[in-house]
Each structure stands twice: as C-alpha cells, then as structure tokens.
Amino acid sequence: MADTFLDSTELVLNMGPQHPSTHGVLRVILKLDGERVLGTECVIGYLHRGVEKIAENRTWQMFAPYVDRMDYVAAVSNGLGYCLAVEKLLGVEAPPRAQAVRVILTELNRIASHLLWLGTHALDIGAITPLFYCMREREYVLNIYEKYCGARLTTHAFRIGGLQYETYEGFEKECLEFCDLFEKKIDEYEELLTGNRIWQQRLTGVGILTAEDCKEYGVTGPMLRAAGVKWDIRKAQPYSGYEKYDFEIPVRENGDTYDRYIVRMQEMRQSVRIVRQAVADIPAGPILAKVGKVIKPPVGEAYVSIEAPKGELGYYVVSDGSTQPYRVRIRPPSFVNLQALDKMCRGALVADVVAIIGTTDIVLGEVDR
C-alpha cells in the first residue's frame, strides 16, 4: 500500500456476530489499515433454519406461518408474497375486500418496519432519542395487528385465497387515527434528525452506491430508489389492487446513506397516504376466495414478487400437484442487499461501517432463512 509508509500493518478485525449494531447475528470480517476499511467479508448463516426445506415437508397452508419468521419485522409482507404466489399457482384471486385489507395491513407493516429501521439506525449513529419514539409509534401498528389477527409480530394474518379474519369493529377508525397521529410524528422525527448537523455529517457521502452498482448487485427497494432509479413493484407490476391507489415513489440522486434516510422517511408518508385511501374505500363482500380446505395446486410453477419494506421479495413456488410444495424458493431483499456491503464499505472509516450496515436495513432472519 502506498499510504502505509509509516510502520503500520493491516489488521483483521471481527465485527459480530454479537455486535449490537449488526442487527442480529451477522459477522463481518473487516480488513483495516488504521481507521480505513480495505475490505469486508460477511459471514452469514447463524440464523439458518432451512425455511425452504421446511416448506417441502409441510402442506401449502401449513407453510404460511413459517414465512412470517423470515423477515420478522415485516411478517405481513412476507405472508402476502407467499399467499399471492400460491394464489397465482391456483389461478384464484383474493376478493376485493380481502385485497383492500391486505393493502392496509402491508402498508402499516411498511411503516412499522421503517420505524424499527429508523430507531436502530439512529441508535447506531448515536442518536438515542428517536428509538423510543419510533417504538412508541410502532406499538400502535402492532396493536392494530393484535386486534385484527391476534398476534403482534409473527402475525399469520393472511391465508391462501384471502383472509381468515374479518376486520374488527373500529378497525377503520383506528387506522385513520394512526394516520393522523403518525403524520405529525414523522415531522417530529425529521425535526430531531433531518436538520441535525451531526446526523448530516455522519450520513452524507457515506456508503455511496450508484444506480449502476445497484443494478449490478441486484439491490432493490429504498436503496435503489435513493440512487435515482424509479423502480417500485407496486407501480411496475401492481399486485393486490395497488393500481387503484394514488401515491408517489420517492427518489433521490446521490445514493448515499443520507438519501436512503430521506427516501425511507418519504416512503412512510406515502404509506400513510395509501392507508388513508384504502381505509376510505374497503369494499363489502366475502374475504376468502373459494379455495377449499385442501389446497392442491395444479402441476406448474409461479413467481411472484412484491415490494416488501426492504426491497423486492420474490417467491418462486413449484407444485407437483400434491398438497405439499415441491419447491419454494425465496428471494429475500435483505440477502441481496447485503451483498453490496463490501462495495459500500471499501475506503470508508470503521465508524461508517456501522452506519452502512444500518442503512442496508437487513434482518438476519431473512438473510439466513
């Protein structure tokens, strides 16, 4: 190395798997030259449970609760993707009422997921206050889930063909109340962080990922949009009736950590907008399409991808005509986004690694599956 003319040697440092800012059990091997990162390597698999293999030993319905346990902070989105994939295989579509409720719950889930990201990301950088506020607002969403389906985190809210549970009394009112309250709270978070000089200095220009890099690595979600690519599956290939709702895709140009922060904040505002529209117009009617008690999709395969809070979440399901999946392949956004970590970290400072891991918004349950 040219700049190691003083007597300094390269140092290999282990970060994790118990490091709190790796958001779970991610081990990153850092190669350092002083404070500079020369390269990183991720060691994953500490949370591997073989979810895809489990699918092959369960019936189609039985596997639905397991997908909640991949990205456990966005369990509802995971469930939606799986249900849509199996529905495509079966050739059925959820009734309009089910679709509207699904949209409401997944958008609330996007808010909850982004809130957790915001809280922990800010905590990693050193701003402790937002974490408490984010958790407090997330609680409202979780309470709606608890009242709707009976669980807070691993919800198992959707069933193949629609919904299992009818909305409870006061569901619409509570969602609207949350929207009203939450819009003010986003302003509050922005007051705390957006203009804060420490926050800006820690984030601007850190972990830059250009649009080309993103496409090369297959990075999706807010990270891609922060690099200036207007790509959102909700708009590009609308599912579950997203074409009916009016919302924008927030985009920024620089692709650095600060821009990703802005994009996610904007996304929460857009989610509130979608929830409002969806709540105002929940059609009446059945909530479960006719799929029968035993689900036996015809021989074939289907791929469905949805816009999960973290990026494109894809399910590739293959049926051999029996009651059990022949194969379920999952394309988790966190896993793919994590591959860009090395690219973002090279040349950065050690302290920035924490910011970069935070901004990729990974959930290790989903990375390892």
Partner 1 sequence: MKQLLRKVFLADLIEGLRVTFRHQHPKQIVTEQYPQERPKIGERYRGAPRLNINPDNGETLCIACDLCALACPENLIVVGWERNPETKKKELVTFTYDISRCMFCGLCEDACPVDALELTQDFEMASYTREGAILDRQTLENGLLPTRYRF
Q: Rule CB under 8 A: say whether 289 interacts with partner 1.
A: no
Which residue lies nearer to partner 1 by CB, 177 or 191?
191
Q: Rule CB under 8 A: say whether 150 interacts with partner 1.
A: yes
Total binding residues toward partner 1, as defined by CB under 8 A: 31
Which residue lies nearer to partner 1 by CB, 193 or 362?
193
Using the contact rule CB under 8 A, the part of the chain among 108-116, 148-156, 202-210, 255-263 near partner 1 is: 148-156
Instruction: Print the binding letters for residues 191-220 with partner 1: x by CB under 8 A, - otherwise.
Output: xxx-xxx-----------------------
Instruction: Print the binding letters for residues 28-67 with partner 1: x by CB under 8 A, - otherwise.
Output: ------------------------------x--xxxxxx-
3-state secondary structure the chain: CCCCCCCCCCEEEEECCCCHHHCCCCEEEEEEECCEEEEEEEECCCCCCCHHHHHHCCCHHHHHHHHCCCCHHHHHHHHHHHHHHHHHHHCCCCCHHHHHHHHHHHHHHHHHHHHHHHHHHHHHHCCCHHHHHHHHHHHHHHHHHHHHHCCCCCCCCEECCEECCCCCCCHHHHHHHHHHHHHHHHHHHHHHHCCCHHHHHHHCCCCCCCHHHHHHHCCCCHHHHHCCCCCCHHHHCCCCCHHHCCCCCCCCCCCCHHHHHHHHHHHHHHHHHHHHHHHHCCCCCCCECCCCCCCCCCCEEEEEEEEECCEEEEEEEEECCCCCEEEEEEECHHHHHHCCHHHHHCCCEHHHHHHHHHHHCCCHHHHHC
Which residue lies nearer to partner 1 by CB, 92 or 151?
151
Give CA torsion, residues 191, 234, 83, 150, to 10 deg. Answer: 20
Q: Rule CB under 8 A: say whether 292 interacts with partner 1.
A: no
Taking CB under 8 A as the criterion, the residue among 51, 84, 125, 149 binding partner 1 is 149
Which residue lies nearer to partner 1 by CB, 164 or 277?
164
For residue 191, the minimal CB distance to partner 1 (Å) is 5
Using the contact rule CB under 8 A, the part of the chain among 9-17, 186-194, 209-217, 338-346 near partner 1 is: 186-194
Which residue lies nearer to partner 1 by CB, 58 or 244?
58
Beta carbons of 345 and 84 less than 8 angstroms apart: no
For residue 146, the minimal CB distance to partner 1 (Å) is 4
Angle between helices 60-67 and 75-90 (to 10 degrees): 160
Which residue lies nearer to partner 1 by CB, 41 or 180?
180
Q: Rule CB under 8 A: say whether 283 interacts with partner 1.
A: no
Which residue lies nearer to partner 1 by CB, 56 or 342?
56
For residue 317, the minimal CB distance to partner 1 (Å) is 17
Using the contact rule CB under 8 A, the part of the chain among 32-40, 45-53, 138-146, 233-241 near partner 1 is: 138-146
Q: Rule CB under 8 A: say whether 165 interacts with partner 1.
A: yes
Residues that bind partner 1 (CB under 8 A): 58, 61-66, 69, 129, 133, 136, 139, 143, 146-151, 154, 156, 164-165, 168, 188, 191-193, 195-197
